[in-house]
Structure 1
Amino acid sequence: MNARIRNAMSVDVEDWFQVQAFAGIVQRSSWDSLESRVVANTERVLEQFGAAGVHATFFTLGWVAERHPALVRRIVEAGHELASHGYGHEQVNVIGEAAFRADIRRAKQVLEDAGGVPVLGYRAPTFSIGARITPWAHSALAEEGYRYSSSVFPIRHDLYGAPDAPRGPHRPRPDGVVELPMTTLRAMGRNFPCSGGGWFRLIPYPVFRTALRRVNNHEKQPGIFYFHPWEVDPGQPRMNHAGRLSRFRHYTGLDSMSGRLDQLLRDFAWGRMDEVFAAAIGGAQPAERIAA
């Protein structure tokens, strides 16, 4: 275990049918009629964290919190940070500024009512925030009472990504919240993902471990890891009429995810986002780059 650097562990709490990969075939109006597995899966994650002595940040959908407030209380009672994943898992760059403000306001209220704690962090669905596509987002978050965002992924991807964004904590706008971008490894003139999600399930575990250790040991920076509760659920329903690429991204590696996660929890030191990046969140001044 790397004793010098503590990384941030995070969970994007959403159900299996709410992912962007299925957005074209699962109507929002049908969500309440589908089999919900988010409570059982999140409880499984909480048990893993408890066994490992790890506290994390749970970026939770307001839609989920509204239907499962006891789950939100369980997260808070276990010592984890409660944060927002928005209300309805809609891409920020698609819905626009007015709808975004309404979404983050509603999510914050629902989460705080359920959890009884302030909600200061936000992560955009599908990393759909960026200086070019949503120049107003960080200011809107500040105005709605948030303190930080972890919504920018400095990579090139067909669904998301801002490859030219700073790789470390920074404030995109003087009047906006601090951005804590997803972790990347800089090599061969480009950024490679080193933050979890589908990438973590697709590549050999030793490769991921080496990459994150390089971020910690060579760059002397903490990393951010994220995953979803549905990723530890190989028995979830199969959307066989989804596209081949969507099925590959969603279902590959589910059988081994829990074991990989246990190994990851042993190999590195972990903490909540608000603890690992306390200096950046709490004492930051407007600047291009902020110390973690």
Structure 2
Amino acid sequence: MSNPPGSTPVQNAMSVDVEDWFQVQAFDGVIPRASWDGFAPRVEANTDRILAAFDRAGVRATFFTLGWVAERQPALVRRIAAAGHELASHGWGHDLVNRLGENGFRQDIRRAKRLLEDVAGVPVVGYRAPTFSIGPVSTPWAHRVLAEEGYTYSSSVFPIRHDLYGAPDAPRVPHRPDRDGVTEVPMTTVRAMGRNLPCSGGGWFRLVPYPLFRAGLRRVNKAEGRPGVFYFHPWEVDPDQPDVPSARRLSRFRHRVGLGVMEARLNQLLRDFSWGRMDEVFGLAGLPEPVGA
């Protein structure tokens, strides 16, 4: 279905995965986790730039925040919540869910949720897995564990085929993979040429021409009549961040491509579409449903 002429535009969900440049999966194995505290943090200044851009555009968004960052930058977390944005969890230390295992995952999301809520004084009901590392085969227990730990929804599945992540056969719309689990709001894709093409942000947004990305999201809004999900990271608006020459060439390319144009593209995106918080756009605000409901 499409929206009638003159109708209110579909509101999309804007989201930010709050992590620093040295914590990304592209540098896993190159930058040891034990060395993280030795780097000068850039996440606070970059997130403040994003908060300022959202304020100018009148946009409220969802910030999926690492517990590791919140522990070290509590004032930033409080500013996010005070500005009216949704505070959500990105887990504690950017560990892949399929590596943590069920018990490790439970401890990770519980620790992150408690800290975020203690720091900001607001409920945390949303979760996004680092590097979309939730899937029906590798982590069939994840959505149930999230519900048991007090979450309402996840936005952790990317229905595409990719060498690092992806569940190409997953539904493209919000769904409940486990009757005892939380709702999953997947990353937005466009169906073309018999496959799902990404239309959600991140490196794809920096790589493809902006008009092509805009056309894809408009198709989702108008032809399919539903909201999309956009995501990006604070380090993506920071072209001056340090390079990592020891990383693989492909990893460096994925991390650095389009950094110089990202902020301008983001500002254009904020003008071209209507945006809101994940919990409000998809009706996921409020207390979690009882497990098994």
Structure 1 position 11 matched with structure 2 position 36: no
Tell me if structure 2 keeps the 8 A contact 1:170–1:179: yes
Q: How far 1:188 moved relative to its partner?
A: 1.3
Q: Match for 1:186 among 191, 211, 215? A: 191
AA aligned to 2:117 is E
Whole-Å Cα distance in 1 between the matches of residues 190 and 8 of structure 2? Answer: 20
Alpha-carbon distance in 1 for matches of 2:7, 2:166: 29
> Aligned runs of 1:108-119 on 2, under 5 Å?
108-119=113-124
Partner of 2:103: 98
The structure 1 segments of at least 4 consecutive aligned residues displaced by more than 2 Å after TM superposition are 1-4, 279-286
Corresponding residue for residue 26 of structure 1: 31
In structure 2, how many angstroms separate the alpha carbons of the residues matched to 1:75 and 1:280? 17
Counterparts of residues 43-58 of structure 1 (less than 5 Å):
43-58=48-63
Q: How big is each residue's C-alpha offset from its partner over 1:50-69, in whole Å with a ceiling of 9 and x where there is no partner? A: 00000000000000000110
* 1:203-241 deviation line (CA, Å, top 9, x unaligned): 000000000000000000100000000000000011011
Between the aligned partners of 1:234 and 1:264, the Cα distance in structure 2 is 19
Within the candidate set 138, 157, 160, 1:133 is matched to 138
Q: Deviations over 1:192-211 (max 9, x none)?
A: 00000000000000000000
Structure 2 residue aligned with 1:267: 272
CA displacement at 1:191 relative to structure 2: 0.2
Provide the identity percentage. Answer: 71
Which amino acid in structure 2 is aligned with residue 210 of structure 1?
Answer: A
Q: Which residue of 1 aligns with 2:256?
A: 251
Query: RMSD of the TM alignment (CA)?
Result: 1.8
Greater mean alpha carbon deviation, residues 271-280 or residues 101-110: 271-280
Distance 2:187 2:31 in 1: 27
Contiguous gaps of at least 5 residues in structure 2? 1-5
Q: CA deviation at 1:280?
A: 9.3
- Provide the residue aligned with 2:3 in structure 1: none
2-structure distance, mates of 1:43, 1:88:
21
Report the TM-score, using the length of structure 2 for normalisation: 0.95
How many angstroms does 1:282 deviate by?
A: 7.7
Amino acid in the other structure paired with 1:92: V
Show structure 1 runs of 5+ residues with no match: 287-292
Cα deviation, residue 98, structure 1: 0.7
Q: Whole-Å Cα distance in 2 between the matches of residues 187 and 48 of structure 1?
A: 32
- The equivalent residue for 1:289 is none
Equivalent residue for 1:234?
239
Is the contact made by 2:67 and 2:115 (CA closer than 8 Å) also made in structure 1? yes
**For 1:123-162, what per-residue CA distance to the aligned partner results, in whole angstroms no more than 9, with x for missing partners?**
0000000111100000000000000000000000000000
**Alignment counterpart, residue 149 of structure 2, candidates 134, 144, 150:** 144
Separation in 1 of the partners of 2:216 and 2:181? Answer: 31
Residue of 195, 207, 210 corresponding to 2:200: 195
> Contact conserved, 1:7 with 1:271, CA < 8 A, in 2?
yes
How far does residue 281 in structure 1 lie from its aligned partner after superposition? 8.3
The normalised TM-score by structure 1 is 0.95
Matched, 1:171 2:158: no
How far, CA to CA, are the matches of 1:37 and 1:188 in structure 2? 40
Q: Give, in angstroms, the shift of residue 285 of structure 1.
A: 11
8 Å contact 1:3–1:269 — kept in the other structure? Answer: no
Take 1:43 and 1:258, find their aligned partners in 2: how far apart are those partners? 13
Deviation, 1:94, is: 1.1
* CA distances 1:12-45 after superposition (whole Å, capped 9, x unpaired): 0000000000011011110001121000000000
Which AA in structure 1 matches 2:225? Answer: K
Matched, 1:209 2:208: no
